[in-house]
A and B are shown apart, each in its own frame.
Chain A
Amino acid sequence: MSKIKSLADLKKIRDEKVSGLQSRERGEDAENLVQVKVAMATCGIASGAKETMEFIAEALEKRGVDAVVTQVGCMGYCYAEPTIEVKLPGSESVVFGGVNIEKADEIIEKYIKGGELVDGIIPVNYETID
């Protein structure tokens, strides 16, 4: 990590990141991977998000699914923690709530591997500015 010396440098880093250059350099292609985001704010962690995230990362690897699992902040669904967002290549992302280990297992087996939706979907009802 070296210092960013100017606004132009900063924009370069941004563009690389946005176009996936950075991940491609690492030999990955985010667009063709399953992306899982786990809401890991205090409230999520208190509801078990850490265990869920560890399980998902481990299970996906064991079961041979190419995926990127990342932690993110609060998605706002306090009533349904832990929440995760799953984006299959070429599909809209789907948010699932109440994802304990059991549920995570079901999501991996049915949705991630088979595209079959499972109970616990939380319809995203907000717009986020870009």
Chain B
Amino acid sequence: MSLVKLTIDGNKVEVPAGTTIYKAAKQMDIDIPILCYMDLKDLNIENKPGGCRICSVEVEGRRNLAPSCSTDVTEGMVVKTNTMRVINARRTVMELILSDHPKDCLSCAKSGNCDLQDMAVKLGIREIPGQEYAEMSTYRLDTSPSIIRDLDKCIMCRRCETMCNDFQTVGALHAVNRGFNAVVAPAFEMNLEHSPCTYCGQCVAVCPTGALTEVDHTAKVIRALNDPTKTVVVQTAPAVRAALGEEFGMEPGTRVTGQMVTALKQLGFDYVFDTDFAADLTIMEEGTELLGRLKKHLEGDENVKLPILTSCCPGWVNFFEYNFPDLKDVPSTARSPQQMFGAIAKTYFADKIKVDRKDMVVISIMPCLAKKYECQREEFSVDGNPDVDFSISTRELAHLIKQANMDLNKLKEDEFDAPLGESSGAAVIFGATGGVIEAATRTAYELHTGKTLDKIDFKQLRGMEGIRSATVDFDGLDINIGIAHGLGNARKLLDEVRAGKSKYHAIEVMACPGGCIGGGGQPLHHGDASILQARIKAIYDEDEGKTIRKSHENPYIVKLYDEFLGEPLSEKAHELLHTHYFDKRKKIFQV
């Protein structure tokens, strides 16, 4: 690659051709402010609409200012990032953006975690000229089961649109209207509920302002905890422990499992359990289902559907139900770990402690916003009583802990309660892309071959590539495994399945980049994809540290089957742990 020489703020630099001014400056530690621009390097996601114009710089010989995020360097270019002209333009544009933004920062969900607020601080904005007579663009508030859209706060950075369309290929959000009334919304400005939205929450994960936020259930949690008639059970998803620390200033990738358990106990939960337990259960059911289908397939049964698709990601299930309803019988029927946990908690466990399910509240802590929707699905309730009462995100848990005057940094470690707190390393890795299928492989291999694995780590299944494939030798039988994270990648694999051209026996799909660790309910990464890598590492570290690393070896799982379920895919298991899918195309756009 050829190199280009240029001068930025008086200093010479040499960068590869095709580098943008912004990136060239960054190399020289010149931090040109950016607002709409977002570069998630490892995920190949770049949002570069050139819309906010905050990153404008002066380029000698150019008539107008250049957006540094999207202007490539040229040989001999002379760039100035901090002249009077640039500073004035940047401030003026920022004042304009703020002039059309509500000033309720103090009570905004994003307060203290808002890119726009930070930028206002960085640029030293002290007043907004003419605010008293400036009209503001206003829009209807839209509340869905998972996501709240308060578009008065939208600054048209289009990051959500990039995630929703380019990365996820969901197509729920687009720029609509023109000029001052331009905003990002579902088609015809319908509610999100009537759009193809999967509630994956990636729009929320990248929104720089309070325009897109999660539905906040923290008040409900506090109410439940303070209700003496209720037994409150909490389950925490594997990805939460790998990210919660960030909300308390810890380095990304710090594992806080023990401190989190302490915090939950101090918050007053009656039982602090682990969704990982249900993840092990998922492997038992899904793994058995896979082996069953595989066996029939090998026996020449042409009705058997392969590949089997994982079904633990609710965003993925929503996507599937809308985009591929014709393939309804392809995914595993296994419920997600969250829902398996709820079903077991309100039957097996409730019986054990002799509490009526109506007096039990099951709360899940999830890295995910689609889980809020999933637990509201009708099929996951008994006589109107949901298996999981509600789900809160990692961010909401952090708020709860802070409200209860605790600092995670200062808490001692504690252990999950028994019996639904025990889990294997296989369950922990559910939080990272490739983890579910690796966990399934560990169990399926041993169940299928009757042999013990020498090497538990299937490193070929790990990584950040959007689509990965690997072949695992099941003692002479080659099992082809596909992995996709990001719904756009999943769509590619599903198109192959639909066309009958898929070579895979099993495919794992996670809606979010990096898997659950990159979920829409996680601490905001603010465009820094290296945070996702750190979280993944934390997940695999926890797995390695576990003594039990295969789901079928979890003693409490064995016990659960012995005492209650019988065996995987038993009638009881079917009733409590499996589900069916719907054609959602009809539901969309019907108000």
Q: Do chains A and B touch in the complex (CB under 8 A)?
A: no
